[in-house]
């Protein structure tokens, strides 16, 4: 194989985030409409490398992926050793808005998966005017706890291996082995307690059931894409969001909870028509 570089560029962004100095790792590729991508709980932006490398996307979209604080190559804030990480709805919304502002993005499209698919519903509710369109992957209004999350962070269990073990069944059984195991590798590399801290948002604080009826997809186009094998964010949950908000929902065959990393090729086939519709909509309104 000839050596080659991928087109994505990775840089470290210094900014004040949630009132504290932060150093975040940001990758991007492409040009055009900004597409800000949000990774899942306990993982990082590498999940989106299929998109960053797909010329069909990057010729019209500037794909931007950041690792949340504590995740991937982003640092936890100074003093992290004296606190427990715990993600809240309020902080998550602020984080996305502040990162978007720091990058100078003008009405980006925001796309998130799992916890990202939940927080984009909060964005649709609280900040629809900020975004050109919103895409939720594996979006559901809430997920009740179905296992004891304390197993994810204790000294006598390997946090990375148990986290990967927990999520392994969320990958579609039809996923290719390389996509499946790369997805799990990201979980194995998560910092101690980070997945658990994200799940506080996912299973407790981020429940948006009582506000779904106040989301109006006419104020900001809302698209929902969910894999048929996702038993955590269920297809039923996604369809409920669509019914109550006016969002367009597509149930994706042969995909699970991590569509962009478990099977990028299959996922991108579902994503391209959505991105095209958003882009043409923008053209139509600008004409």
Partner 1 sequence: MLERLAGRVNADANLLRRGKHVTTTFLIAVDNADHIVRIEHGRIVSITPGPFITPNYSFALRAARDSWEKLWSPVPIPGYTDIFALVKKKLLRIEGDLHPFMSNLLYFKGVLAAAGHTQEAA
| Angle at which helices 115-126 and 89-102 cross, to 10° | 80
Going from the C-alpha of 7 to that of each of 10, 84, 112, 194, the distances in angstroms are 10, 36, 22, 29
Q: Which two tokens stand for residue 111?
A: 């796309």
Q: Which of 1, 11, 129, 146 binds partner 1 (CB under 8 A)?
A: 146
Closer to partner 1 by Cβ: residue 169 or 281: 169
Q: Which residue has the tokens 């197993």?
A: 151
Interface with partner 1, residue 157, by CB under 8 A? yes
Kindly state the smallest distance separating residue 169's Cβ from partner 1, in Å: 2
Kindly state the smallest distance separating residue 146's Cβ from partner 1, in Å: 4
Closer to partner 1 by Cβ: residue 79 or 173: 173
Q: Which two tokens stand for residue 5?
A: 């570089």
Kindly state the smallest distance separating residue 172's Cβ from partner 1, in Å: 8
What's the first-to-final CA gap in the chain, in angstroms? 46
Segment interacting with partner 1, rule: CB under 8 A, options 54-62, 83-91, 160-168, 242-250? 160-168
How far apart are the C-alpha atoms of 208 and 211, rounded to whole Å? 5
Segment interacting with partner 1, rule: CB under 8 A, options 52-60, 87-95, 149-157, 209-217? 149-157
Interface with partner 1, residue 234, by CB under 8 A? yes
Kindly state the smallest distance separating residue 254's Cβ from partner 1, in Å: 10
Per-residue contact string for residues 182-201; x = within reach of partner 1 by CB under 8 A: --x-----------------
Interface with partner 1, residue 155, by CB under 8 A? no
User: Which residues in the 162-181 window bind partner 1 by CB under 8 A?
Assistant: 162, 164-166, 168-170, 172-174
Q: Which of 19, 80, 147, 276 binds partner 1 (CB under 8 A)?
A: 147
Closer to partner 1 by Cβ: residue 151 or 282: 151
Tell me the torsion sign for CA atoms 136, 180, 272, 37.
Answer: positive
DSSP string, 15-67: EEETTEEEEEEEEEE--SEEEEEE--TT--GGGGHHHHT-HHHHTTEEEEEEP
| Angle at which helices 177-188 and 159-167 cross, to 10° | 140
How far apart are the C-alpha atoms of 23 and 10, rounded to whole Å? 13
Interface with partner 1, residue 229, by CB under 8 A? yes
Q: Do 141 and 213 meet the contact criterion of CB atoms below 8 Å apart?
A: no
Interface with partner 1, residue 41, by CB under 8 A? no
Contact set with partner 1 (CB under 8 A): 146-147, 151, 156-158, 161-162, 164-166, 168-170, 172-174, 184, 228-229, 231-232, 234-235
């Amino acid at each position: 194989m000839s050596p080659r570089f991928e087109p994505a560029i990775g840089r470290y962004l210094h900014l004040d985030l949630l009132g504290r100095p932060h150093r975040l790792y940001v990758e991007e590729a492409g040009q055009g409409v900004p597409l800000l991508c949000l990774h899942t709980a306990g993982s990082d932006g590498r999940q989106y490398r299929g998109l960053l490398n797909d010329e069909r996307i990057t010729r019209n979209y500037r794909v931007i992926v950041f690792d949340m604080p504590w995740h991937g190559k982003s640092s936890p804030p100074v003093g992290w050793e004296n606190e427990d990480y715990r993600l809240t709805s309020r902080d998550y919304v602020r984080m996305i808005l502040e990162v978007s502002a720091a990058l100078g993005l003008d009405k980006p499209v925001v796309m998130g998966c799992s916890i990202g698919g939940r927080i984009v519903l909060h964005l649709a509710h609280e900040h629809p005017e900020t975004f050109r369109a919103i895409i939720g992957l594996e979006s559901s209004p809430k997920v009740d706890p179905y296992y004891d999350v304390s197993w994810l962070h204790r000294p006598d269990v390997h946090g990375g291996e148990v986290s990967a073990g927990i999520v392994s069944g969320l990958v579609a059984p039809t996923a290719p082995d390389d996509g499946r195991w790369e997805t799990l590798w990201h979980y194995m590399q998560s910092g101690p307690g980070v997945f658990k801290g994200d799940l506080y948002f996912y299973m407790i604080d981020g429940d948006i059931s009582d506000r779904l009826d106040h989301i109006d997809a006419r104020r900001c186009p809302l698209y929902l894409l969910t894999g048929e094998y996702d038993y955590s964010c269920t297809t039923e949950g996604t369809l409920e969001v669509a019914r109550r908000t006016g969002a367009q929902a597509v149930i994706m065959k042969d995909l699970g909870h991590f569509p962009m990393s478990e099977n990028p090729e299959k996922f991108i086939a579902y994503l391209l028509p959505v991105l095209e519709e958003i882009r043409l909509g923008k053209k139509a309104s600008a004409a």
